[in-house]
Each structure stands twice: as structure tokens, then as C-alpha cells.
């Protein structure tokens, strides 16, 4: 047999595989998933809980550092 005949057979085989994959992807898989959904009696899962805001510490608190007592002036530094 000639090489061109093998090439034609190979091209027809590849075209058949591509057409089969296209058919399965667009026609074979979709109806099976669509049929299962209407007959389902279980409810949908509840929505996930909303995340709570992280507790960020307040840095303006009484007793935190040198600025704890805002009404009293800061002690003066001695001059050198």
C-alpha cells in the first residue's frame, strides 16, 4: 500500500476521535447531570457563615505606654 493511503486512514481516524469527543462533551454529559437535579429531594446546603471582623486591639487605652494619662503633661527632659 502507498503511504498516502495510510495518511488518509490516519486523518479519518483522528477526525472520528475529534468528532466523538465533541459529541460526548456537548451532548453526552449534559443530559445526565440535568436529569439528576430535578429529582433531588435534599435541600441546598446553608450559605457559609459570614466571617466576623477580627478583633484589633485599641492602642488608645488607659494604662498603655507613656500617653496613658493624657491630661498630665509629659515630664521635661533635663538639658545637657
Structural domain boundaries in the chain: 1-37
pTM over 0.75: no
| Residues of the chain with confidence (pLDDT) below 70 | 28-39, 57-76, 80
- 43 phi and psi angles, rounded to 5 deg: -75, 165
Q: What is the predicted pLDDT for the residue at 15?
A: 97
Give yes or no for a contact between 62 and 68, defined as CB atoms under 8 angstroms apart: yes
* C-alpha–C-alpha distance, residues 9 and 16, integer Å: 11
Query: Which residue reads 465533541 in cell numbers?
Result: 22
- 29 phi and psi angles, rounded to 5 deg: -85, -35
DSSP H/E element including 36: helix 29-36
* C-alpha–C-alpha distance, residues 15 and 44, integer Å: 42
Amino acid at each position: 500500500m502507498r503511504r498516502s493511503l495510510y495518511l488518509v486512514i490516519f486523518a479519518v481516524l483522528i477526525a472520528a476521535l475529534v468528532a466523538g469527543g465533541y459529541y460526548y462533551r456537548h451532548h453526552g454529559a449534559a443530559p445526565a447531570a440535568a436529569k439528576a437535579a430535578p429529582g433531588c429531594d435534599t435541600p441546598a446546603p446553608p450559605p457559609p457563615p459570614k466571617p466576623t471582623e477580627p478583633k484589633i486591639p485599641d492602642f488608645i487605652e488607659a494604662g498603655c505606654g507613656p500617653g496613658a494619662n493624657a491630661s498630665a503633661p509629659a515630664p521635661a527632659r533635663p538639658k545637657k
